[in-house]
Amino acid sequence: MVVITDLFNPEELTETNEGFKTVCSDCGLQGNRTEGFILFPETNTSYCHSSHKWFSLLQTAGLKLNVIKCIEGNEEGEKPELDRETIKEIYDSVEENFGKEFLTDLKIACGDINNFLIIKVNAKGIETKTVNIDKVADYIISKFKIKTVFGLKEESLYLYENGIWTLTGKGILISDIEKLLQWYAKNNVVKEIFDKVKRKTECSRDKFDIVPEFKTPVLNGVLDLSDVDDLKFLPQNEKYNFKKSFPVEYNPKAKCPKILKFFKQTFYECDLTQVQEYGGLHLIRRYLFKKANICQGLKNTGKSVYLNLLSTFCGKKNISGLSLQKISHGKSFDLLVLKDAFANIHDDLSSGDLSDSGGFKMAVGDGDICGEQKFGDYIRFRNTAKQTYACNMIPSVKNIDDEAYYERWLVWNFENVILQEEMNPHLIDELTTKEELSGLLNWYIEGFIRLVKQNGFSNEKSCEETKELMINNSNPLAKFSSECLGYSQGKKITKEEMYNAYCLFCTNQKPILSPDSKIKIGNSLIRFASYISDAKSGNKRYWLNVIFKGERDNFSKSTSKYLKEGKKRDIEINNINSENLSHLPQIKHKTINSKPKSDREVQFYDAKECEDINCKCLKKDVEIYLLSNPDSTDKQLYDKFGDGCFKFKEELKKDKKTECNWCHKKISQKEFKEFKGVCKKCDVAEQIKYEGKIK
């Protein structure tokens, strides 16, 4: 849309509080003292202080091109009037001096839409006007840069603005058509024009998805990283087909002192070069090296600040936030958000196990993955979004022998805990200023250059080291197996001893770890210590071919019973002389429960301690109730009979037969239930006796 200032060269204008001041093309300077011609862009009008006349946009164009005189303007409040010959002369002069496209925009700005109408006069002399659909569509296409990708179920219209192709085109085009046609912009007309524009700007998805892998779009241009020895900074161009752009300006002289200070306080020195190189990997649209990043550590160690900084650098609209579990076995609707994204960043990752790591390896492996639009097309695309996660405990994978999974990870430990009184609530704001982000871009470029030249990451751990680090940080049992257990042929440790040592190991960690149950240990220990086997001798069960690391042969038996009335559980570890277990004897006694258990708790959780309970019911009563109410809950049973009912319930489960309440003869449970507490003979006898009384 033409603005009144477009009729003048920038050097002719002087900005004022009212608008823009210039020289009147007809009368020149006012009294040789000041420029007396004022332009008002908001209303597209002008005013001459010499003639005291107002001018419309079209009149200003005529005045500028010397078609009309200054005195021919309008009085204040008067509507501008020009005859057809004068208007035609102004149009011809504008086309000659500014071009045909400018003339079209000028006509639209002046409210002259006859150029887009088909005017017909019937036999009676009545004039009818209809919109010229093709002409309006061609005008829209010439004004905007548009591409339409058609799918099987729907189409996507992209509009090129600020160096990238966006999906905001539909709203902008419909709004522009509305302004252009004014009262002629009926719904069916607008829809027909819009459909015509889409059909005329069709582009195949395969061609449109081709994006230069080593060119990086930023706010003020495009970085060409294809040759690290000869970096280039190019102007923006629609042919690159960029869908997203880094919200950072490239300034080769910019520095980022605050960000580097934060990095040095947060990361280990050996990890700092990897941080720089991994950040540089985000600048290209390709997984040049198949690596993802996981940040593991305690709370208040800077993980979230780092992830927020990386998110701001890439752009909040340019990233996705899928969890590792969703990427591994997520739905195709979820995976589509990875398309065209610079990064996938997920904070506070769940410690839940991964049942399958195949989806993650595909996402990081520079291969194609599939996504699906809601009610739309099924799309196959190559993922280039770099994977970054943060967690307190690394999620374990079902197949711990999958080396292809572990070799894809860069693991950074965050261990510098910031105290509450030392925290800066405005830190992220200080790190994400325009200057700091420009400096961070330069720092990442240095990391990318080093990454390419050395063909890999600095200080990269081996697959075995990464595997051990991730397993030990993913499961307390894995860490216990690695640090405390060793192989010894024929040696054995009872399962009770093993569990006590494991619990004590967990309680001595910082922070304290939550131990798994005995059942879970029995099922999972062999995953982390493959040399052990399950063995049994009499009533005792053992772990075979295993010892506790250190110069020791025995692990003393510990009293593992949970006693009533808050008694303590004693765990004594003798003859330990091992660096790996030096921390274990620090806590020898642990109070399990300071509050005595109720009778119901004892009955329900530890049947062995039911013997000294003062029973308030009879076994037969419990038996009859259970037979009559097989679906009753434990709470209902306890509410009816009180203490002792659970003891009798356990005993009844072990009894294969019960006895008749009258003759005390052993009978089956089925017979007892059928005749409601008596045997068949007693039931028949009672029935005969009852019938005799009736007679």
Given a cut of 60, whether residue 30 has pLDDT beyond it is no
The yes-or-no verdict on residue 551 having pLDDT over 50 is: no
If one compares 1 and 522, the residue with the highest pLDDT of the two is 522
pLDDT of residue 552: 37
Query: pLDDT band at residue 34, thresholds of 50, 70 and 90?
Result: low
Looking at residue 330, its pLDDT comes to 63
Cα distances from 677 to residues 47, 547, 646, 652, in angstroms, run 112, 56, 20, 14
Spatial CB neighbours of 401, under 8 Å, sequence gap ≥ 6: none
User: How confident is the model over 213-231, as pLDDT tens digits?
Assistant: 999 999 999 999 999 999 9
pLDDT at 613: 61
Q: How confident is the model at residue 689 (pLDDT cuts 50, 70, 90)?
A: low
Instruction: List C-alpha distances in Å: 151 to 145, 241, 379, 498.
Output: 20, 18, 10, 61
Distance CA 671, CA 678 (A): 8
Cα 55–chain centre separation:
56
* Residues 6 or more apart in contact with residue 206 via CB below 8 angstroms: none
**Mean pLDDT to the nearest integer, 138-161:** 88
- Return the higher-pLDDT residue of 54 and 477: 54
Q: How confident is the model at residue 645 (pLDDT cuts 50, 70, 90)?
A: confident
Question: Is residue 503 very low, low, confident or very high in pLDDT (cuts 50, 70, 90)?
Answer: confident
Question: What does the DSSP assignment read for 341-398?
Answer: -SEEEESS---PPBS--HHHHHHHTT-EEEEE-TTS-EEEEE--PEEEEEESSPPPBS
The per-residue DSSP string of 214-236 comes to: TEEEETTEEEE-S-TTS-EEE--
Q: Which of 71-85, 279-293, 569-583 has the lowest mean pLDDT?
A: 569-583
Model confidence at 585, pLDDT cuts 50, 70, 90, reads very low
The model's pLDDT over 339-366, given as tens digits with 9 standing for 90+, comes to 889 999 998 777 666 666 777 888 887 7
User: Which three-class secondary structure string do you get for 4-27?
Assistant: HHHHCCHHHCEECCCCEEECECCC
Q: Is the pLDDT of residue 632 over 50?
A: yes
C-alpha of 161 from chain center: 26
Using the predicted structure, report yes or no on whether residue 296 has a pLDDT greater than 50: yes
At 590, the pLDDT band (50, 70, 90 cuts) reads very low
pLDDT at 598 over 60: no
The DSSP letter of residue 633 is: -
337 alpha-carbon distance from chain centroid:
9
**How far apart are the C-alpha atoms of 572 and 500, rounded to whole Å?**
10
pLDDT at 593 over 70: no
Least confident range of 177-181, 410-414, 504-508, 591-595: 591-595
Cis peptide bond upstream of 511, omega within 30: yes
Percent of the chain residues topping a pLDDT of 70: 84
Q: Give the separation between CA 634 and CA 600, rounded to whole angstroms.
A: 10
Mean pLDDT of all residues in 161-179? 89
Give the pLDDT band (50/70/90) at residue 688.
Answer: low
What's the pLDDT score for residue 577? 40
Distance CA 407, CA 357 (A): 12
Model pLDDT, residue 238: 92
Average pLDDT over residues 131-135: 90
Structure tokens at 358: 């195949």
Higher pLDDT, 35 or 433: 433
Q: Can you give the three-state secondary structure of 495-556, one letter per residue?
A: HHHHHHHHHHHHHCCCCCCCCCCHHHHHHHHHHHCCCCEEEEECCEEEEEEEEECCCCCCCC
Domain 475-590 sits in CATH at: 1.10.10.10
Given a contact cutoff of 8 angstroms between Cβ atoms, the answer to whether 121 and 127 are in contact is: yes
Q: Is the pLDDT of residue 646 over 70?
A: yes
pLDDT tens per residue across span 373-408: 766 677 788 888 999 999 888 887 777 777 888 888
Convert the pLDDT of each residue in 516-550 to its tens digit: 777 777 777 887 787 888 888 777 888 888 888 75
What six digits make up the tokens of 308?
């927020």
Whole-angstrom Cα distance, residue 550 to residue 556?
15
The whole-number pLDDT of residue 553 equals: 39
Mean pLDDT (the chain, rounded): 80
Which residues lie below 8 Å from residue 526, measured CB to CB, with a gap of 6+? 532, 533, 534
pLDDT for position 579: 43
pLDDT at 610 over 70: no
Three-point CA angle 564, 569, 570, nearest 5°:
145
Across the range 35-59, mean pLDDT stands at: 85
**Confidence check: pLDDT of 16 > 70:** yes
Residue 244: per-residue pLDDT: 93
CB environment 586-598: b (16+ within 10 A), e (fewer): eeeeeeeeeeebe
Q: What is the 3-state secondary structure (H, E, C) of 147-176?
A: EEEECCCCEEEEEEECCEEECCHHHHHHHH
Instruction: Find the mean pLDDT for residues 397-422.
Output: 84
Model pLDDT, residue 557: 36
**Per-residue pLDDT band at 691 (split at 50, 70, 90):** low
How high is the pLDDT of residue 506?
A: 82
Determine the residue type at 457.
F
- Taking residues 144-170, report their average pLDDT: 88
Residue 441: per-residue pLDDT:
96
Taking the domain 257-461, which CATH number applies? 3.40.50.300
Q: Tell me how far apart the alpha carbons of residues 314 and 279 are, in angstroms, rounded to a whole number.
A: 10
Largest CA distance in the chain: 142
Find tokens 């559980």 and name the residue. 569
What ranges do the domains of the chain cover?
Answer: 4-112, 127-208, 257-461, 475-590, 600-694
Token digits for 154? 């729907």
* Topology alike, domains 257-461 and 475-590: no
Is residue 44 very low, low, confident or very high in pLDDT (cuts 50, 70, 90)?
Answer: confident
Q: Percentage of the chain with pLDDT > 90?
A: 25
Strand 292-297 to strand 409-414: parallel, antiparallel, or no bridges (unpaired)? parallel
Higher pLDDT residue, 601 or 305?
Answer: 305
pLDDT the model gives residue 355: 65
Q: Which residue has the tokens 């005969």?
A: 688
**Cβ burial, residue 448 (10 Å; 0-12/13-18/19+):** buried
Provide the pLDDT confidence category of residue 560 given band limits of 50, 70 and 90. very low
pLDDT of residue 526: 80
